[in-house]
Amino acid sequence: MTFKLTHLALLLGLTIVLSSLLGIVATYRAADNEFKEVLQADLKHQSQLLAMLASKTTFTGNQLEQLLQQNLRSENEDTLWVNLYQGDKDVTSNLDHHLPLKHKGSGPVSRYFQQHLWHGYQLQHGDLVVQLLRRDDLSQQILRDVTKAILSPVLLGGSISLVLLVLLLSLFLKPLTRLAQQLEKRSAMDLTPLNVNTSAEEIRTLENTLNQLILGVDEVLNRERRFASSVAHELRTPLTTLKIELASPDPDLAAIRQESDRLARVVEQLLTLARIERGHWQQRFKTVDLGEQLSTLLPRYQARFGDKAIAFNWKLAPCLVNGDATLLQVLVDNLLQNALRYCPAQSQVQLHLNGQGFAVIDNGPGLSASQRQDMAKPAEYLDNKSEGLGLGLSICRQIVEVHQGVITFEDAKPGLRVKVSFKAEG
């Protein structure tokens, strides 16, 4: 079952209103019953005192009547109507009347007098009957005052609850509705950040979390697109060559072997790039002494450079990097491989390692300013005929990125300087 939060909020508001109304009714009824019981008990108690006083004190009728009229007659909420009957008709009262006694005995009594209904208590004490009554309208006024005093906090609390509910709707539900509407309008390709203008901290936290998730998805999709582009670019040339040679009546076996080897190297680099793109390498990072790592790699390259009549020398210094030794070796290997591939005979290639990183410097043909700028782009390829130049540079960029480093391509005048800087360890 599904429902909207606005419907739930509306139901909550109605519940608050109904609860307040039911509380008012229940409070009024309880106060009414309790008030009547208190009045009845009070009148009964006063009737007993008055009966005892009248039976033990000798008053003439006029004296008793004057006493009652002087002390009890008033026109306010405390007005009492007092009747003392000796026999059925002889009555002494604080109010001027000659109404007969309706019945003898003790218990609640009601009478109509001066266009008002009176309720009270009647007590029989021997031949003496005492009646104490209150006017209904004055009693109800007392009840209304008491009820008002009781219900004022209830009404105030209900009003505050409704105001808080309105604020809740304004601060939370409206921004949530806007957020839901933005998400509903999104397509799978629209990964722009969400924008919900709200002062509620919880909604801002939700917005930031969703935007971080969207940014992560966007980065993953971009990596997948770059990887797919790399695969298509790097495999196109060797596959085309193999197709042509295999379709020929006299295929060149040496060319087929060369393109097969090239294809194997490209696939190996693609697998390396795919592993880097997954972003699982940081879990295996540890402190690596890059100088010690390169001391075993560089001598192997000296012979390969020598075969092309290229002078290769290096200078190593301690360099501690928080990273993966295999990836760092692949980084240096790709940069040296590119220098080996593009530098002509009689060139010079140098590798300098210091405490912050290393640089590979050659005095070959170098690159133009626009080409050096293009090399910083993630999906840029400089040569679609080489053995994975674009892919190799993409791998280098990714390795430097996962190590939180920076790679730059500078003009060595002549030649090219590739500089890699790492974040200082410790």
Provide the 3-class DSSP secondary structure of residue 396: helix
In this structure, the number of other CB atoms found within 10 A of the CB of residue 56 comes to 7
Gap between the Cα atoms of 244 and 150, Å rounded: 99
In the predicted structure, residue 210 carries a pLDDT above the cut 90: no
For residue 326, give the nearest of 380, 402, 389, 221 by alpha carbon. 402
- Split at pLDDT 50, 70, 90, the class of 381 is very low
* All residues at 6 or more sequence positions from 155 whose CB lies less than 8 Å from its CB, including other chains: 20, 24
**Mean pLDDT, residues 185-201:** 75
Structure tokens belonging to residue 64: 């008793």
Considering only residues 58 and 335, tell me which one the structure prediction assigns the higher pLDDT.
335
Provide the 3-class DSSP secondary structure of residue 191: coil
- Split at pLDDT 50, 70, 90, the class of 370 is confident
Give the pTM. Answer: 0.46
- Split at pLDDT 50, 70, 90, the class of 248 is confident
pLDDT in tens, 99-113: 888 888 899 999 998
The mean pLDDT of the chain is 78
pLDDT in tens, 50-92: 888 777 766 555 666 666 666 665 566 667 888 888 876 677 8
pLDDT in tens, 166-184: 777 666 677 777 777 777 7
